[in-house]
Structure 1
Amino acid sequence: MSLIRSREQLQTPWRDLLTAAVAAVLLPSGLGTVCLGIFSLVQQIMPATAGISLWVIGTALMLSPILSLVGMILALPVASLLIRLGWFGWVPAAATGLVIGGVIGAMMDFAPGALAGAAIVLILRATLGLLRPMRAL
């Protein structure tokens, strides 16, 4: 698989695509749980600014499924079309996430929305590649 192209498919692999979407939405929440767990273990010995930063990152990641679910709902039809056309490589996946995340971020006045969208769709792409290594993608 190249950076741009993937193997064309006659039908969208919906079971694998939805499984990858759930993983992409929930993975940041799991990372946020780890961050908050580390914060609770070392909050007494770490500097206050580092502790606050770790807490803010952990909390943001824990709450990210609230917004990334909306983005994923918008990204799934685009991903399905790109998979069927054979254009769901890493670059088109990142571009899809940038555009959808940018639009959602602009509506919410959240500048990093485009980067967050790209990260979520790239997680979707990576997970889908793990679920379907031999068949396509």
Structure 2
Amino acid sequence: MRPEDIPAILVLEADTLSAWSREHLEDELQQPAGFQFVVRNAALDMIQAVLYGRIMADEAEILKLSVAESVRKKGVGSQILDFVLNYCRTKGVKNCFLELRASNTAARNLYEKRGFFRVGSRKNYYDEPVEDAILMQREL
């Protein structure tokens, strides 16, 4: 992800329940332990997916994965997630964690297909709408 990607990412983020602001995206680019990757369709000049995360010692946390509505269920989410898991392995990561909305069954199915399993929940963690978070983990 590059600073010049932010306008296109804001468009992609607008289709998600928990859209991040420009300031949040700019902050994310400055995180020393952070990583950000995009799937870019050069022919369409479009960012199709973005994934943000952090590595601390031998653990990684996926903070957010957003996929453009036009390419959902077409393998783009799997593509970027597989890339990030391999990237984390090269950085010595042993465990990867994430959280997601309890109602986000598409994301939960994707993560489960990639070896993540449920390790807990957080009651009423999200707002707008109020919803529980599911905590997931995977060993790398």
**Structure 2 length as normaliser, TM-score?**
0.27
Which structure dedicates a bigger proportion of its chain to strand?
2
**Larger relative contact order, structure 1 or 2 (CA cutoff 8 Å, min sep 6):** 1
Mark the structure with the bigger radius of gyration. Answer: 1
Which structure dedicates a bigger proportion of its chain to helix?
1
**Structure 1 length as normaliser, TM-score?**
0.27
